Amino acid sequence: MAGRGGAGRRRARGQRAGAMNVTTLRNQAWEWMRSDRGLMLWAVLVGIASGLLAVLMKQSVGALRSGMFAIQSWVGGSWFLALGPILGLVATAHVVRRLLKGDHPGPGIPSTLHAISTRRGRMKRTWMFAPVVTSVLSVGFGGSGGLEAPAMQAGAALGSEVASQTRKHFRRRLLLIGCAAAGSLAAMFKAPVAAIVFAVEVIMIDLTASSLVPILLASLASLLTAFVFFEGEDILTVPTLAAFQASRLPWYILLGIGTGLGSVVFSKLYIVSQRAIGRFKNPKTRIVLAGLLLGAAVAALPPLFGEGYEVINSMFLGYSDVLIEDMWMLEGSLALPSLLGWLLLAACLKPMLTGFTVGAGGVAGIFAPALFAGALVGFAFSLGVNGWINPTAMPIGNAVLAGLCGMMAGVLHAPLTAIFLATELSGGYGLFVPLMLTSAIAFTTSRALMRHSIYTRELAERGELLTHDKDQAVLTLMSLKEELEQDFLPVQAHWNLGQLVEVVAQSQRNLHPVVDADGMLLGIVDLQDIRQVMFDQNQYLTLRVVDLMTLPLAEVQWEDKMDDVMAKFEQCGAWNLPVVEGGRYVGFVSRSRLFNAYRKWLKATSLE
């Protein structure tokens, strides 16, 4: 009996030891994954997840589109497609109201950039699925827009959550967000290099040795995921294009200018149409009005339904009747001037319809509409040049590719992304030189007329845009609220010197704000200024604070951006400045504290 009891105790001790070993190994593995050494693994996992989200969204929208067109073919006529956009907007509004409790995911990439600059990259957890569901409904039923921005937003939210769970600091959080953005674009277009460049140009990731490898791994992991689940179904299929000839460079230059001007028109039309719908305060009114406008446009021009990638693929093949073959108001072929007019009209309608979709509460991006409009401009340019000047002056496929490249560079202000995406879509570097030329000219033209893109315009106006300007980026990340010091003891102007001395004796500071009964700042008292009289008891009852205070060299407003605060310190030379809100005293901010915070954020934003 004693022997059996001893054996049982030994087995129990062995089981406890085994359990402790498993727990220890699990804890060690988790600590490794939380460390910087585990970053590569997280980059791969984020890339795979972003690829799966992109595939899911593409497949879902493709199924909805196929269903809508199948029913339209069965009932006859394009009128049925006109019902799709309003159905999508209603379904999106229902999801936002019921499932998301009114928390709309926002416009995709601008929401992501805003989270990076104002919330240190911390994104809402609902964004991991909200953009996916709402964009599929908005675009799948015929709303104008693309899935790229919502997919990137969902992937970025996933990367942000991974950083939160593994307690990553800001620079690693930003890097995981960049990995998610690169993964989404790589899966959508099977263009891994363009995806990496996009993370640098748009998400503002600093391209360093320590950031390049994780983003590359995420892009590659997402690409392989797309090949597994999305093989043979590229959204853009570029046929074999004509070889580059130096004699055609003047046409590429003109196309670059045209797409640069066109990108400005695209951006203006999008902004105006979005604001026009947004002026209606009632959400139901916005949905009905936008649904009617979208429905009418789709009924008249069915190729405007949804993203429009099928139209771009037809353009590459030179099908000039792709836009008018289903138009009920036209019969037969069109003369060249009329055809060019319809092509340019469709290019102008696309950003307007996208603005209506987003303004009414739909969730969609401008990536696909920019490609659509650029392809139409390139196609129209080629038809015009070939029809009126020389039949072989500009190959249609080349013009379509250069057109979408130029439009993307101008609308997104991302010329390198446009170059590499167009290059990877074409399957080679045969047209790399003309694509570089077109993109550079389009971007320069657009930037000269519109300093900021649709993605960054509002953030730049509010001073919340992160850029590759390290100094400006650090100032944007710094918060006046976090650097505010409130341990300064206030005094009142009617107090005498004796009362002031009592407060000075209790204070650890050399400055005292002078306020009235309502807390409004009247001035400041500096200990250095009163040192000669504060020990003269004969003046304790006769000398008043109002006689001792001075006006501050400058005042910092509560709503001031950090670069404005730094500018005030530089102009006045003070070491401490009072902070007021509507004239009411809030606290002080010191030059030395700001410099310390600046150094901290400079280190935090470095990816080395």
Residue 240 placed within a domain: no
Least confident span in 364-368, 372-376, 454-458, 498-502: 454-458
Rounded-to-integer distance, Cα 421 and Cα 419, Å: 6
- Count of domains observed in the chain: 4
Average confidence (pLDDT) over 527-532 = 83
pLDDT tens for 22-77 read: 666 666 665 666 666 778 889 999 999 999 999 999 999 989 998 988 888 888 76
pLDDT at residue 554 above 60? Answer: yes
Task: Evaluate if residue 238 carries a pLDDT over 90.
Answer: no
- pLDDT given at position 340: 87
pLDDT number for residue 157? 92
pLDDT band for 327, please (50, 70, 90 cuts): very low
> How many percent of the chain have pLDDT more than 90?
43
If pLDDT is split at 50, 70 and 90, which confidence band does 203 have? Answer: confident
Over residues 531-540, the mean pLDDT reads 81
Question: Where is mean pLDDT largest: 194-198, 455-459, 562-566?
Answer: 194-198
Over residues 245-265, the mean pLDDT reads 95
Do 22 and 51 belong together in one domain? no
**Segments forming the whole domain that contains residue 282:** 246-465
Q: Report pLDDT digits (tens) over 118-171.
A: 777 888 889 999 999 999 999 999 999 999 999 999 999 998 988 888 776 777
Given a contact cutoff of 8 angstroms between Cβ atoms, the answer to whether 485 and 140 are in contact is no
What is the distance between the alpha carbons of residues 151 and 147, in angstroms, rounded to a whole number?
6
pLDDT score of 465: 63
Residue 449, domain CATH: 1.10.3080.10
Does 518 or 207 have the greater pLDDT score?
A: 518
Q: Are residues 22 and 98 in the same domain?
A: no
Same domain as 297, residue 200: no
Strand order in the sheet with 491-492: 491-492, 511-515, 521-526
Considering only CA atoms, which of 468, 523, 432, 46 is closest in space to residue 241? 432
In a domain, 258, yes or no: yes
Check residue 233 and give its pLDDT. Answer: 64
pLDDT digits (tens, 9 = 90+) for 76-104: 767 788 899 999 999 999 999 999 988 89
Last residue of a domain, one of 163, 197, 230: 230
In a domain, 239, yes or no: no
Is 211 in the same domain as 267?
A: no
Closest listed residue to residue 149, CA positions, set 184, 190, 103, 114: 184
What pLDDT is recorded for position 5? 57
The model carries a pTM of 0.80
Same domain as 44, residue 25: no
pLDDT computed for residue 580 by the predictor: 93
Q: 534 vs 285, which has greater pLDDT?
A: 285
Q: What pLDDT does 331 receive?
A: 45
Same domain? For 24 and 36 the reply is no
What pLDDT, on the 0 to 100 scale, is given for residue 20?
A: 56
Residues 180, 300, single domain; the answer is no
Q: Pick from 176, 195, 230: which residue ends a domain?
A: 230
Q: Are residues 114 and 97 in the same domain?
A: yes
Contact 123, 157 (CB under 8 A): yes
What radius of gyration do the chain's Cα atoms show? 31
Q: From 230, 254, 274, give the residue that closes a domain.
A: 230
Flag whether 74 is in a domain.
Answer: yes
Q: Is residue 470 part of a domain?
A: no
Domain membership flag for residue 198 = yes
Tell me the pLDDT of the chain averaged across its residues.
85
DSSP 533: T
Torsion of CA 443, 447, 449, 451, to 10 degrees: 150
3-state secondary structure 411-467: HHCCHHHHHHHHHHHHCCCCCHHHHHHHHHHHHHHHHHHCCCCCCCHHHHHCCCCCC
- What are the tens digits of pLDDT across the range 417-426? 999 999 999 8
- Are 25 and 38 in the same domain? no
The domain that holds 584 is classified in CATH as 3.10.580.10
461 falls within a domain = yes
Instruction: Give yes or no: residues 184 and 104 share one domain.
Output: yes
Question: What is the rounded CA–CA span in Å between residue 53 and residue 32?
Answer: 27
Q: In this predicted structure, what is the pLDDT of residue 73?
A: 81
pLDDT score recorded for residue 470: 63
The verdict on 310 and 349 lying in the same domain is yes
Residues 309, 411: one domain? Answer: yes
Does residue 413 lie in a domain region? yes
